Structure 1
Amino acid sequence: MGITLDQKSLKIAFEGRPDLQTAIQNAAAGDAYIELFNQISLHVANLTSSSSSEPASKKRRLDDGPSNGTNGHSAPSSAAAASGKDPVLLEIKDISVVIPQRKKYTLCFTASHLYARLPDSSEPAAGISFAWKDIEYAFRLPVPEKTQKQHNYVLFPRGSNITPSKPSSPIPDPIVFTIPDTAPKPGTISGKDAATASSVSDDYKTLFDWAITSQLKAAGNTVKITLADEKLFASEQRQAHRPSEKAVFVKAFRGSKDGYLFFLPNGILWAFKKPLQFIPHGNITAVSYLNVLQRTFNLNVEIGLEGDEVEEFEFAMLDQEDFGGIDGYVKRHGLMDKSMAEQRKAKRLNVNVVKDEEGNVVGNAEGGELEKAAAEAEQVAVDEEDEEEEDYDPGSEGESEGWGVVMMMTAMLKVVVETRKRKMMKMRLRTSYEL
């Protein structure tokens, strides 16, 4: 006797959906899919049964969605979510949150948590609740490419600062929110500490610096807000929208995503698109410069994991003008440069570049045998061309003055053509070397 459709499981699994029951029955007319449908129905029926046996309060929490900014995963046990019943010490309205959810919220400071809520709600928004004691890193950084000056606050909960690409446990999201470089508008600040906050409310920066620092300290957390320091690193790229202000970041790509690298006193931050990545100096085992070309290069950061395992993060298309500043930062903090390591030789292109007085790349200190051969071949071509030009006399062989001019123009054209051929040959040799 052949396999038959499990009608009992089908009715339990899709109770209230007779249309689906009928569709599955019709599709199971052939024997090929009966067993598959039986397994699906049994699985769904088991899920339905276990869900109905849970307390209503537990089911409600699951329906409410994730809390504590964990990107859909459960938060660390030490970071219980905030409650709307907790006394609010400070409340600041109309703050633009970028991560984990892009929307304007009211930020609420309690003795134990920072959380966001919608203007028409009294409860914390799902996924945006952070325990002060669990904040591991805090930053205030300028927002790139904005005509009006703005700042992003970035708070990383514990466990989200550096993780392998295939984590064995959930990764909490940080919170990123943006403030203007202006004073708060009247009526935007309230709460028990509003009167105290008014004395430091000359602008949003001083207000949030005070509020965050005070609550971290009160919770026994020694983390301090880290700022970008242009004396430590500043890009050579001029900001067209704010030319008098130095950029303390560089534009880069991580895979297909564009973002910005900040070289900070305590580590390197990749921001401001998900997933943000902060790499503390203590986690960096080495850095390497890869694909160093005339205009761009790649920065590879290697971090140590458990045992002898390492993971690499490669940031691409950094501007060559910032090579010196980044290399100075690497040396200043004692980070190992592994650009010349054996495992890098197959990937490096034009490493250890030689620059002229204006900072332009003009050569390579260690180009290898192929590049030397290319240079020698080019020099031979130049020498031969010089000999041809020295032997050439456009006015010889009794030609008229007009004909001599024509011959001179022809010779000049020949030089241009040969020069272009030589450049093409050089490019082909360089391409072969890079491959």
Structure 2
Amino acid sequence: MTDQLDDRTLRLVFQSRPDILAGIQKAADTPARIALFNDIASFVYEQIGAADAQNGPASKRRRVDIAQLPTHTQTNGQAHGGLPPASLSAGVDAAAADPVLLEIKDISVSAPQRKKYDLCFTKHYLYARASGTSVPVQGIVYPWKDIEHAFYLPVPDKSQAQYNYVLLPRDSYLPTTKQVGANANTNDKQQPLEPLVFTVPATAPKPGTVAGPSAAAAEAVSDTYSSLFHWALVTSMRSAGNHACELIASDPRLFHSVARQSHRPGEKAVHVKAFRGTKDGFLFFLPTGILWGFKKPLVFLPLDRIVAVSYTNVLRTTFNMVVELDTDAPANGDANDNNTAATPIEKEVEFGMLDQEDYQAIDETYVRRHGLADRSMAEQRKAKRQLAENHRKPAAAASSGGDDAAAAADEGADGLTELERAQREAEQRLQDEEDELEEDYDPGSEGDSEGEGGSSEEDEDKEEEEEEEEEEEEGADRMQE
């Protein structure tokens, strides 16, 4: 049993992951652990050597594959050529060989890893690398043509204004029936990249933060981090031929919560708090779809994928929102592509514990404006909906015409469709007719034999006789007149 790490083998195996190498060196504090790490490194090195002997050098093979790929872009979440969905290790060598045009240092990345990195812009790639290194971080290498959605959103619940950039590669954002994890490798098929999320302050970049051949051009748009990244992201995507992806920013004129932000009272919140399962997060209702973040896994539901929206579990202060999705198209690549792991998407996605105060803004400002079907009245829901009653009414409306408003709010709150309501009314009419027939029916002796109380029948006869006498007296009076 050796008492020293095999640094040469470890560096060859983990040359693209200096963070893992540093972690091994720190954890190798006993002879048993040193031996274990050496065995792991030797095994991985042998596997890499066997693969290279069979298929040729990995770096050469990847470069040839990339050079032969078509250059068409993709739309609506489906690939129409372009680069294939990248696995965690794919593209690292190609990105490292691509000259860096712009480098922005010390950026706080929160997904897929939480750490400060330098972000590097090349002609074909955006990637992260650790400070002081020249190797891209594995799993944070994004071909520009693979980025399908890009968002610019304020970070909630922060006293100082900060903003998140969210970049969603193809097949990385729809909820699947079986989530494809970062370390999953099913049947050696390529797995899609995870979304990239990084945070910038509302201030200008510090001196020395921006470097590279394009730094001079970037200086003209470096009044703030936001203006710098807007220019860098859009320019890079367009130069790489990605014209379908737009950088979308939240807009309080299109949607905002009625809840007041205590930490920034002068700013309208463009998000609402919501749970997905046991995880708390934030919903952003954007022009192109609904985003839930910023915890992993991020979920984005494009408008063209949404079939209907329903409201369930309506309580006094909260309610749940269920979004039904179109599942016809595969979620992760073409199911016929042997190089891609196809996973079906979830039929319904539920977000819980939304504040009742935000119901009207969500339903009227977003759901109805975008023509999304409301299936809350469907039979399978059977929700106890009192949204109109629970929604806080303005004081003016409560003081004037409050009774009329409450009566109007009760209409349609029975949870029935028009067809069901009409059927219920027809059944009620039939019941009323049967009751009238029963009132006119004289059971005779049967009532006595069945033990029915005779006193009630005698009272009814007396009432009928009195009514007849009154009618005769009224008739006589009219004749005299």
TM-score (normalizing by structure 2): 0.60
Match of 2:113 in 1: 101
Match of 1:353 in 2: 388
Match of 1:264 in 2: 286
Whether the 8 Å CA contact 1:137–1:225 is kept in 2: the answer is yes
- CA distance in 2 between counterparts of 1:52 and 1:270 reads 42
- CA distance in 2 between counterparts of 1:49 and 1:89 reads 36
Aligned positions of 1:6-85 closer than 5 A: 53-55=50-52, 75=86, 80-81=91-92, 82-85=94-97
Which amino acid in 2 is paired with 1:173?
Answer: E
Shift of 1:325: 0.2
Helix, strand or coil: the match of 1:317?
A: strand
- CA distance in 2 between counterparts of 1:309 and 1:210 reads 34
Whether the 8 Å CA contact 1:197–1:207 is kept in 2: the answer is yes
The answer on 1:231 being equivalent to 2:253 is: yes
Which amino acid in 1 is paired with 2:380?
Answer: Q
Whether the 8 Å CA contact 1:339–1:351 is kept in 2: the answer is no
Instruction: Provide the alpha-carbon RMSD of the alignment.
Output: 3.2
CA-to-partner distance for each residue in 1:243-272, whole Å, 9 max, x for gaps? Answer: 000000001100000000000000000010
Structure number with higher relative contact order (C-alpha < 8 Å, ≥ 6 residues apart): 2
- CA distance in 1 between counterparts of 2:51 and 2:165 reads 40
- CA distance in 2 between counterparts of 1:84 and 1:55 reads 19
CA-to-partner distance for each residue in 1:324-348, whole Å, 9 max, x for gaps? Answer: 0000110000011000011112xx1
Which amino acid in 2 is paired with 1:252?
Answer: A
Which amino acid in 2 is paired with 1:207?
Answer: L
Match of 1:311 in 2: 347
Q: Which runs of 5+ in 2 are unaligned?
A: 1-31, 33-42, 60-84, 181-188, 330-343, 399-404, 417-481
Shift of 1:293: 1.4
CA distance 1:99–1:56, shift in 2 (3 Å): farther
CA distance 1:356–1:295, shift in 2 (3 Å): closer
- Alignment partner of 2:357 out of 313, 316, 321: 321
TM-score (normalizing by structure 1): 0.66
Helix, strand or coil: the match of 2:229?
A: helix
Helix, strand or coil: the match of 1:208?
A: helix
Whether the 8 Å CA contact 1:285–1:303 is kept in 2: the answer is yes
- CA distance in 2 between counterparts of 1:290 and 1:204 reads 41
Helix, strand or coil: the match of 1:344?
A: coil
- CA distance in 2 between counterparts of 1:309 and 1:303 reads 8
Match of 2:468 in 1: none
Quick check: 351-360 or 317-326, which moved more? Answer: 351-360
- CA distance in 2 between counterparts of 1:333 and 1:52 reads 55
Identity of aligned residues (%): 51
- CA distance in 1 between counterparts of 2:149 and 2:210 reads 25
The higher radius of gyration belongs to 2
The answer on 1:284 being equivalent to 2:331 is: no
Shift of 1:59: 11
Shift of 1:287: 0.5
Whether the 8 Å CA contact 1:89–1:192 is kept in 2: the answer is yes
Whether the 8 Å CA contact 1:290–1:351 is kept in 2: the answer is no
- Alignment partner of 1:198 out of 219, 222, 230: 219
CA-to-partner distance for each residue in 1:357-392, whole Å, 9 max, x for gaps? Answer: 3399987542469xxxxxxxxxxxxxxxxxxxxxxx
CA distance 1:47–1:309, shift in 2 (3 Å): closer
Whether the 8 Å CA contact 1:289–1:351 is kept in 2: the answer is no
Helix, strand or coil: the match of 1:89?
A: strand
- CA distance in 1 between counterparts of 2:272 and 2:96 reads 40
Match of 1:166 in 2: 178
Whether the 8 Å CA contact 2:255–2:285 is kept in 1: the answer is yes
- CA distance in 2 between counterparts of 1:357 and 1:250 reads 20
The answer on 1:147 being equivalent to 2:159 is: yes
Whether the 8 Å CA contact 2:357–2:392 is kept in 1: the answer is no
Q: Which runs of 5+ in 1 are unaligned?
A: 1-18, 20-45, 63-73, 370-435
CA-to-partner distance for each residue in 1:200-254, whole Å, 9 max, x for gaps? Answer: 0000000000000000110111111001111111001111110000000001100
Match of 1:31 in 2: none
Which amino acid in 2 is paired with 1:350?
Answer: R
Whether the 8 Å CA contact 1:157–1:172 is kept in 2: the answer is yes
Whether the 8 Å CA contact 1:184–1:201 is kept in 2: the answer is yes
Match of 2:270 in 1: 248
